[in-house]
A and B are shown apart, each in its own frame.
Chain A
Amino acid sequence: MRAIISVIGRDKKGIIAKVSNCLFNVNVNIEDISQTIMGELFTMLMTADFSDASVEFAYADKLLQEIAAEMKVEIRMQNEEIFNSMHKI
């Protein structure tokens, strides 16, 4: 299963490092990263492969929410299928 992780918030040092470190610790492979700055907002999207993950999806989400709270950004991790369903026929 692949997940899309989105990070939206004010640009801060170490956001990418923290998120990728967290994913590395639970054996999730990052396949793609893109980022843009929209106004003052930093937007990062990651595609991550969950097939060898050492933890449940919900638990990984919880770990990411701890980073979100600490860094004061919004982090969402969603199964890629929701985007495919809504935007591809």
Chain B
Amino acid sequence: MLNINEILQTIDMVKSLHLDIRTITMGISLFDCISDDKKKTAAAVYEKIVKKAGRLKQTGDALAVRYGIPIVNKRVSVTPVSLIAASSKGFSEVADAMDRAAKDIGIDFIGGYSALVQKGVTEYERALIESLPEVLSRTDRVCASVNIASTKAGINMDAAALMGGIIKKIAEATKDKHGAGCAKLVVFANAVEDNPFMAGAFNGPGENDCVINVGISGPGVVLAALEKVRGENFSVVSETIKKTAFKITRAGQLVAMEAVKMLGANFGIVDLSLAPTPVKGDSVARILEEMGLESVGAHGSTAALALLNDAVKKGGVMAASFAGGLSGAFIPVSEDVGMIEAVERGALSIEKLEAMTAVCSVGLDMIAVAGDTPASAIAAIIADEAAIGVVNNKTTAVRIIPVYGMESGSVEYGGLFGTAPIMKTSPFSSEEFIKRGGRIPAPIHSNKN
């Protein structure tokens, strides 16, 4: 039998502490849409997405009413388009079909305009990558990702160099919106095939035909729990986060199971994540500060984040029948009010963020830099993050926005993307380093067979 306190605790989590299901993402395989004709492929892609995900939004809305917990985003991820359009070469036609389908079924983003090039860039993958500036500036809801490294394959430095230039071109193509096209592109190392979070979601080649992946969230709930144990030692902090993460994840598991039933899909995973939003009280930075740091970015931030990330997973994994995706705390800059303030007060630099990405998911996320940052510097930032991912056997990513015409100040993107302060990059050149090209071999500990 439930007691009053338990019921009121759940109500308070939703009402005051921003507990929500961050996303229900339907992964859809597009392999059966492949043809050698551009128009035929695009038409098949549109039809399949609308057929499978036509009821996704209304199902999410119905579950939100039934359980009294907001389900913020309903999204779709598809098989990497580099594979689907390889035969027809109709990359932008497929992107348009995805954009139109997303609008017609009422979802805000659709991911999977992606290529997996960790070991080599084929001709058709290069075609997709080179279409990114045009596709991301023309479409509204299509999200893209490129995996340039893995622990098994090493780092494809040619691909890193290529992406540095492409990101600059996307920024230029969308400069009237302060480079907002770059917010829809993630460059990965060790990309996961079942990620429900945008912009990096795609339905991996090994995934089922129609899968439900759920991303949970609740930084506010964790913060409130930690406020009650202020001054206690770290074992108490860890236990408190674990218990909270368990409860949050169980809500996600329940919603995922019901969505699977209602949509006739397969159950994929629950992503055990703490994802902030620009709303006050929904910040991961505040959790680290609650542990005793004057500002996130102070010495100790990496240790605090490591504890948080680990405790979230330990609490969540028992609550979910299948955990997966990115699973961990996110530290995007523009989407977290505590991170923005830390950058503005000079407490948080790209270098410190880079260190923090070694102990959490995912990477340098939603970072705005000056518009004149060289392509080689962006490529080198991508390579640094990839090295952290490859060596530590984890996913890392870069979502970076060069803002043309700006060297300092901050840029308002609105909505979930928030406000991005322009961050300083190193004034020293990486040009010759990036020019070398080729591949950085996989680390010795990847040879496990």
* In-complex Cβ contact of A58 among B9, B62, B251 (8 A): B62
Query: Could you tell me if B4 and A83 are in contact, using CB atoms closer than 8 angstroms?
Result: no
Q: Mark B37-81, 1 if CB is under 8 A from A, else 0.
A: 000000000000000000000000010011111000000000000
Q: A57-B65, A58-B62, A61-B65 are in contact. Are A83 and B6 (CB under 8 A)?
A: yes
List residues 252-267 of chain B with CB under 8 A from any CB of chain A: 253-254
Tell me, in angstroms, the Cα distance from A6 to B411 when the chains sit together.
42
| A78 proximal to B (CB < 8 A) | yes
| A30 proximal to B (CB < 8 A) | no
* In-complex Cβ contact of B250 among A8, A57, A74, A85 (8 A): A85
| A79 proximal to B (CB < 8 A) | yes
Q: A34-B4, A86-B251, A87-B6 are in contact. Are A81 and B11 (CB under 8 A)?
A: no
**A residues neighboring B (CB under 8 Å):** 4, 6, 8, 34, 36, 43, 45, 57-58, 61, 74, 76-88
Q: Which residue of B lies closest to A62 (CB)?
A: B65
Query: Could you tell me if A6 and B62 are in contact, using CB atoms closer than 8 angstroms?
Result: no
Chain A residues near B9 (CB-CB < 8 A): 87
Tell me, in angstroms, the Cα distance from A79 to B63 when the chains sit together.
10
Q: A4-B2, A86-B247, A86-B251 are in contact. Are A78 and B66 (CB under 8 A)?
A: yes
Chain B residues near A81 (CB-CB < 8 A): 67, 254
Chain B residues near A6 (CB-CB < 8 A): 7-8, 11
| B10 proximal to A (CB < 8 A) | yes
Q: Which residue of A lies closest to B318 (CB)?
A: A89
Query: Could you tell me if B7 and A4 are in contact, using CB atoms closer than 8 angstroms?
Result: yes
Query: Could you tell me if A85 and B254 are in contact, using CB atoms closer than 8 angstroms?
Result: yes
Query: Could you tell me if A45 and B68 are in contact, using CB atoms closer than 8 angstroms?
Result: no
Tell me, in angstroms, the Cα distance from A4 to B11 when the chains sit together.
11
Tell me, in angstroms, the Cα distance from A74 to B62 when the chains sit together.
20
Tell me, in angstroms, the Cα distance from A81 to B66 when the chains sit together.
10
Q: A57-B65, A58-B62, A58-B65 are in contact. Are A84 and B2 (CB under 8 A)?
A: yes
Chain B residues touching A, range: 20 to 34
Query: Could you tell me if B4 and A45 are in contact, using CB atoms closer than 8 angstroms?
Result: yes
B319 CB → nearest A CB, Å: 8
Interface centre among A61, A74, A82 (most CB of B within 10 A): A82
Tell me, in angstroms, the Cα distance from A74 to B23 when the chains sit together.
26
Tell me, in angstroms, the Cα distance from A88 to B6 when the chains sit together.
10
A58 CB → nearest B CB, Å: 5
Query: Could you tell me if B254 and A80 are in contact, using CB atoms closer than 8 angstroms?
Result: no
Q: Which residue of A lies closest to B253 (CB)?
A: A85
Chain B residues near A87 (CB-CB < 8 A): 2, 6, 9-10, 247
* 9 A-B pairs closest in CB distance: A78-B68, A82-B67, A87-B6, A85-B250, A85-B254, A86-B247, A79-B66, A76-B68, A86-B250
List residues 1-34 of chain B with CB under 8 A from any CB of chain A: 2, 4, 6-11, 15
Chain A residues near B68 (CB-CB < 8 A): 76-79, 82
Chain B residues near A4 (CB-CB < 8 A): 2, 7
Chain B residues near A58 (CB-CB < 8 A): 62, 65-66
Chain B residues near A86 (CB-CB < 8 A): 6, 10, 247-248, 250-251
Tell me, in angstroms, the Cα distance from A87 to B254 when the chains sit together.
12
Chain A residues near B67 (CB-CB < 8 A): 78-79, 81-82
